[in-house]
Homo-oligomer: A and B are copies of this chain.
Amino acid sequence: MSNSRIPGKNFLFVPGPTNLPDRVVRAMAVPSEDHRSPIFPDLVKPLFPALKKVFKTETGAAFIFPASGTGGWEAAITNTLSPGDKVIAQRFGQFSHLWIDLCQRIGLDVIKQEREWGTGNDPELIEETLKADKNHEIKAVLATHNETATGVTSDIAAVRKAIDAAKHPALLFVDGVSSVGSLPFEMDAWGVDVIVSGSQKGFMLPAGLALLGVSEKALKAGETAQMRRAYFEFKDMLNANKQGYFPYTPALPLLYGLKESLSILFEEGLDQVYKRHHHLAEGVRAAVAAWGLKPCAKEPKWNSDTVTAIVVPEGFDAAKVIEIAYKRYNLALGAGLSEVAGKVFRIGHLGDLNELMVLGAVAGAEMAMLDVGIPVTAGSGVAAAQAVYRANPLLTV
């Protein structure tokens, strides 16, 4: 009935969708129910403060839309901006690229700033651009927190500082699809106006929920926003959510799943979740170094703790590594996209993972690389990662 191949488990190391904890699978296996019943709010109401705890916001509002992260981008923009509004967006990977593309389709005037792939947001350039915008025609700065295509994390606090240094009223919109729930994220402290996330990464759920945090300032901006919207209307959501309901039938199992995955995050503790992602990522990076290879991220400061894009040596096709990993060893790696297609393969290391799962994936990547002729030493990456993991194991009991 399922698509899964026998024997054994698939090693899912794309940077999302991530592995589902078995607690989440169970939590979602619920019967259908009346989403207008008197007890439905018992499920719904606690979800919003819990989400705000993950976004680290006290003053903002949390939203749950039945949509993918792409829908979340659309919701963010259509509820806060007007057709033809200017926004700044820096492009340094496939996902920052796609966000720009969506903005243009929806009708924004995007000031697209090209950055080398393997780097991230350049706050200085943003500051400079905003300073030059004397009439405040720029309404928002769009920043991709974690560029999933290249394995690059940007400093969002620095982007806010740049906006403030320019004394510019632009809103700060952040794509946190592959960061929230995995990497430290501070909506209020960093002055983020809209954070867009999705259920299928750090939240350890299937795709199907766009999860947003929206600041009071952004909600206020929405009062005059002229973009057309209906499905993604914030106001309808706020009104219904306040009572513990939704304006249309919600994706019920995902709400139960969200309740459980939030419990899991809080049981582990958000700080420990962040530490774990760093720990697992350090092992992968040690393996890459032991292989004599380089990550796509140009400098250590860009390293992402949720995904590592690994550059294969000249003359080799990264796509072939991915194909062999999947077909021979049941290991799903992420592909290189667009400008880095064929040049990198990606190991996602986010969500419900522990050391041995990562070591299995590292071992599998080694085998696939060897199979295509890339001269790495068998076991070398595993040994390097083991050293990292033994120094500071996740579990102690």
Contacts and interface: CB of A to CB of B under 8 A. Distances in A.
Number of copies: 4
Given A17-B35, A70-B231, A208-B208, A23 B3 contact: no
Interface stretch (A167-175, A298-306, A309-317, A385-393): A385-393
Contacts of A357: 8-9, 360
B251 A206 contact: yes
A255 B26 CA distance: 16
A74 interface: yes
Interface string A317-343: 000000100111111100100000000
A305 to B, nearest CB: 14
Interface in A68-84: 68-71, 73-74, 83
Interface string A188-231: 00000000001010000011100000000000000000011111
A29 B36 CA distance: 25
Contacts of A69: 248-249
Given A26-B26, A31-B4, A207-B252, A367 B382 contact: no
Given A28-B253, A249-B17, A379-B386, A354 B330 contact: yes
Contact of A366 (B67, B200, B273, B386): B386
A123 interface: no
Nearest to A371: B390
A176 interface: no
Interface of A: 1-12, 14, 16-23, 25-40, 42-43, 66-71, 73-74, 83, 101-102, 105-107, 198, 200, 206-208, 227-231, 233, 247-254, 256, 259-260, 264, 267-268, 273, 276, 323, 326-332, 335, 352-357, 359-361, 363-364, 366-367, 370-371, 377-380, 382-384, 386-387, 389-390, 393-397
20 contacts: A2-B26, A2-B30, A6-B23, A6-B267, A6-B268, A10-B34, A12-B34, A14-B34, A66-B71, A66-B208, A67-B231, A68-B249, A105-B229, A105-B233, A106-B228, A329-B355, A329-B393, A330-B354, A360-B363, A378-B383
